[in-house]
Amino acid sequence: MKQLGYGIAQGLLVACFWVFAIGVSAQETESDDQYYGIADFASVKKYDTHVHINKYDTAFVRQAEQDGFHLLTVNVNTPYYPALEVQQEVALELKQAFPEQVAYATAFDVTGWGKRGWLKKNLAYLEDSFEKGAIAVKIWKNIGMSLQDKKGNFVMVDDPSFEPIIEWIEKHQITLLGHLGEPLNAWLPVEKMTINGDKRYFTAHPEYHMFVHKDYPLYQDQINARNHLLEKHPNLRFVGAHLGSLEWDVDELAKCLDTYPNMAVDMAARISHLQHQSIANREKVRNFMIKYQDRLIYSTDQALMPEADPTSTAQNLHQVWLRDWQFFTSDDPMEVSSVNGKFNGLKLPRQVIDKIYRINAEKWFPGI
């Protein structure tokens, strides 16, 4: 009997061991399944909702196909790009060649603002763009930072002259993608800017370096005008480009998102600001990304310009996408040229990655 009892006890002990082992194994598997890795990069469906393809070439889109990306190429009313009609023509050619891969956002032109016929012309252009397949409208920083009335006053985005266009966008449930204002760094001397990329940009573009333009609207003037627009149009679906020009502090961006439920933000050209903040407080940035996972949209602001080499542009694009994926999916120690200092990746859960890379793009840009 003693031997039998010992055998039963031993059997129970072995059984318990295997139950424990299976439980540990299940936990490890579940934990592994909560995160993506570098090996998942190309196989996960993703969107980059803020690129600028300004000449017809397939290298940019072919790279996107290889890396699992779908693209929103954004037309912009800027003097540095071809005319809006040319940008749209390129977008339509790419959309026709890659209907499952490419969507585009149109824009309106402030040239001739304040003159007779300006509004009618631009409303007609927008209507034509959407008949041709546009899915969003881009509004640029020239409104608020360069456009002036006859008296020399800067025209802000909440100016009544834009109301018919905003109302048309809102009525048709179209997404407005707004680059309004600039990084807070633009109001600082170059040597005090927090991001090396900003130092390079505002050195090359002093016309937007607000520190040297004391008679221009202040940073908060730009933010206030944008907020006023959102207050007047609570049903407007609005995506604030470049982290909504609140890139400098995730706490400030959180307050804005809490106040305006009709607003999301893209990350175009501002991921380095998240990385900069991660040096001092990685957990705060990570918690922000998790809490506001439904309002954040991945994008880069990468561009293919008419004079650029498409192959090298595509190679650089791949490196940008891969580096960003590493930052969001791993906790690897990292360094990038735009940030002074080392930081660790955020290692966001799969569900967060799926939202910022895919689900939110499809929600905030219907038709993409």
- DSSP assignment string, 264-298: EEE-TTTHHHHHHHHHHHHHHHHHHHHHTTTSEE-
**Residue 91: what pLDDT?**
98
Q: What is the pLDDT along the chain (368 residues), one digit of tens a residue?
A: 444 343 434 443 334 434 334 343 434 344 568 999 999 999 999 999 999 999 999 999 999 999 999 999 999 999 999 999 999 999 999 999 999 999 999 999 999 999 999 999 999 999 999 999 999 999 999 999 999 999 999 999 999 999 999 999 999 999 999 999 999 999 999 999 999 999 999 999 999 999 999 999 999 999 999 999 999 999 999 999 999 999 999 999 999 999 999 999 999 999 999 999 999 999 999 999 999 999 999 999 999 999 999 999 999 999 999 999 999 999 999 999 999 999 999 999 999 999 999 999 999 999 99
Antiparallel, parallel or unpaired: β 333-334 and 343-344:
antiparallel
CATH superfamily of 39-364: Metal-dependent hydrolases (3.20.20.140)
CA distance 104 to 94: 9
**Residue 32: what pLDDT?**
60
User: Which residues are 265's β-sheet partners?
Assistant: 240, 296
CA distance 109 to 202: 24
CB neighbour class for 98 (10 Å; exposed up to 12, middle 13-18, buried from 19) = middle
Report the sign of the C-alpha dihedral through residues 286, 290, 294, 299, in that order. Answer: positive
Q: Which of 139, 148, 273 is nearest to 216 (CA)?
A: 148
Domain positions in the chain are 39-364
**Residue 14: what pLDDT?**
38
Phi-psi region of 242 (alpha: psi -120 to 50; beta: other; left: phi over 0): left
Q: What is the DSSP letter of 319?
A: H
The secondary structure element, H or E, covering residue 303 is strand 303-304
Q: Three-class SS of residue 69?
A: strand
Amino acid at 346: L
Q: What Å distances lie between residue 349 and 11, 22, 43, 61, CA to CA?
A: 40, 24, 17, 28
Q: What is the DSSP letter of 308?
A: S
